Amino acid sequence: MRDSDKKSRYKQPLIYASMLLLGLVLGAWAVLSGVRSPNTSAITPLPQVASISPVSAQDNDRSKAIAVPRNYVVEAVNRTGPAVVRINASRTVAANPQVPEAFLEDPMFRQFFGDQTSRMPKERVERGTGSGFIINKEGDIITNAHVVSGADKVTVILKDGRQLEGKVIGSDELTDVAVVQVKSDNLPIVSLGSSQNLQPGDWAIAIGNPLGLDNTVTAGIISAIGRKSGQIGVDKRVSFIQTDAAINPGNSGGPLLNQSGEVIGVNTAIIQGAQGLGFAIPIETAQRIAKQIIQNGKVSRAYLGIQMVTVDANVKKQVNQDTEFGIKISEEQGVLITRVVDDSPAAKGGAKRGDVIVKFDDKEILTADQVTQLVEDHAVGDKIRIEVKRNGQSVALNVEAAQFPQKFPN
């Protein structure tokens, strides 16, 4: 046998033996390294670490989100929102108010236009939308006077979908407050708060139906208090709350809330073209007017019978230089009475033209708006103490407020 054949015969077993030895070494290394062989059952499995699947993680996040408390706006709206209503008002008006009916019937006019005049509508229906809020279980709703002014039909729509026929109990144009009444069971009602301690910077929330978008909520702050009607271009006996909570047409009559969800005002006015400027009637004023409307169907308003102007350096100079006025004043501040109506409460109480009001019910007076608001806060028959300066001397007056006349005397 050749040497090469002998080598071949011994080489192959050696290769097999080497491969077997290598396999044993690798297997031992795998066991020592803790790696489990697919076909090895003798390896003790490693402890299982708890893991969160994607679904479980999502469920945990959702449960955490539910547990997070809502902000104050949500809580306030949930508390008051159900009692805020939409008011749809319709009124019938002349179709052509600028063209008298007698003119349309004139033979000369009909000669030119023939039967066209007979086909012209005599009336048309105007529709408007506003807001309001229910203040008691009897179904009394506070809103703005201009929302229901002249309305033939009023429909009240609640947040829960109920549509109820509303009746206008009464309204007051000077404060823009009106009361509408509905009849139904289980009516939600608002919680009334106070505007007396409001400060600029306090939170404010408005709820209403602006531009036909029902149950709209906006939030902001109290921007200012005590805004006078002349400052915002309206003729009302109201000291307004100013807010930057968005107020748009349709919000009129809706509530302005504090962060507790209590009503502190009635949204009523916006300045056209301005942004972030809305105004509300203080709830105390709205309550006082609404109470009179509910009890009497009308408002009993105190009246003194004076015309007046705030005194400042410029007014003092003009008065003292006006020879026709005929009165000189030395006061630098206060409220000058420029006219006393004949037979009025002020005249009966001894007030005179040229008097300068310096105190009203023991409150120091600086502006005519103060006097107007203080009179508005009084009822007919109240006794009012007024201190005036007359020719440099202090004079005390006692005036009994009378009912505001239907027509102001000339």
pLDDT per residue as tens digits for the range 158-192: 999 999 999 999 999 989 999 999 999 999 999 99
Q: Residue 33: in which H helix or E strand, if any?
A: helix 3-33
Give the per-residue pLDDT at 29. Answer: 56
Give the per-residue pLDDT at 162. Answer: 95
Q: Is the domain of 315 the same as that of 267?
A: no
Give the per-residue pLDDT at 30. Answer: 54
Q: Which of 176, 239, 344, 355 is catalytic?
A: 176
Q: Is the domain of 252 the same as that of 348?
A: no
Q: How far apart are CA 398 and CA 268, in angstroms?
A: 35
Give the per-residue pLDDT at 252. Answer: 92
Q: Is the domain of 262 the same as that of 235?
A: yes
The reply to whether 24 falls in a domain is: no
Enter the tokens of residue 208: 């209403």
Contact residues for 150 (Cβ-Cβ < 8 A; gap 6+): 91, 93
Residue 363 sits in a domain of what CATH number? 2.30.42.10
Q: Is the domain of 85 the same as that of 148?
A: yes
Q: Is 268 helix (H, G, I), strand (E, B) or coil?
A: strand
Please say which residue of 135, 150, 181 terminates a domain. Answer: 181
The reply to whether 250 falls in a domain is: yes
Residue 89 sits in a domain of what CATH number? 2.40.10.10
Please say which residue of 181, 208, 236 terminates a domain. Answer: 181
Q: Which of 131, 140, 146, 355 is catalytic?
A: 146
Please say which residue of 251, 268, 296 terminates a domain. Answer: 296
Q: How far apart are CA 238 and CA 285, in angstroms?
A: 8
Q: Which amino acid is residue 48, in one-letter code?
A: Q
Q: Is the domain of 280 the same as that of 349?
A: no
In 3D space, the residue among 243, 240, 232 whose CA is nearest the CA of residue 202 turns out to be 243
Q: Is the domain of 260 the same as that of 213?
A: yes
Q: Is the domain of 165 the same as that of 197?
A: no
Q: Is the domain of 172 the same as that of 200?
A: no
The reply to whether 71 falls in a domain is: no
Q: Is the domain of 88 the same as that of 171?
A: yes
Q: Which residues of the chain have pLDDT under 50?
A: 35-53, 55, 65
Q: How far apart are CA 129 and CA 39, in angstroms?
A: 80
Count the domains in the chain: 3
Q: Residue 257: in which H helix or E strand, if any?
A: strand 255-257
Q: Is the domain of 170 the same as that of 200?
A: no
CA–CA distances in Å: residue 169 to residues 192, 292, 379, 383 = 20, 10, 20, 30
User: Is 146 in the active site?
Assistant: yes
Q: How far apart are CA 209 and CA 88, in angstroms?
A: 11
Q: Is the domain of 168 the same as that of 109?
A: yes
User: Is 378 in the active site?
Assistant: no
Q: How far apart are CA 237 and CA 405, in angstroms?
A: 15
Give the per-residue pLDDT at 271. Answer: 72
In 3D space, the residue among 82, 74, 86 whose CA is nearest the CA of residue 251 turns out to be 86
Q: Which of 223, 252, 344, 369 is catalytic?
A: 252
**Could you list the residue range(s) of the whole structural domain that residue 285 is in?**
191-296
Q: Is the domain of 120 the same as that of 203?
A: no
Give the per-residue pLDDT at 248. Answer: 85
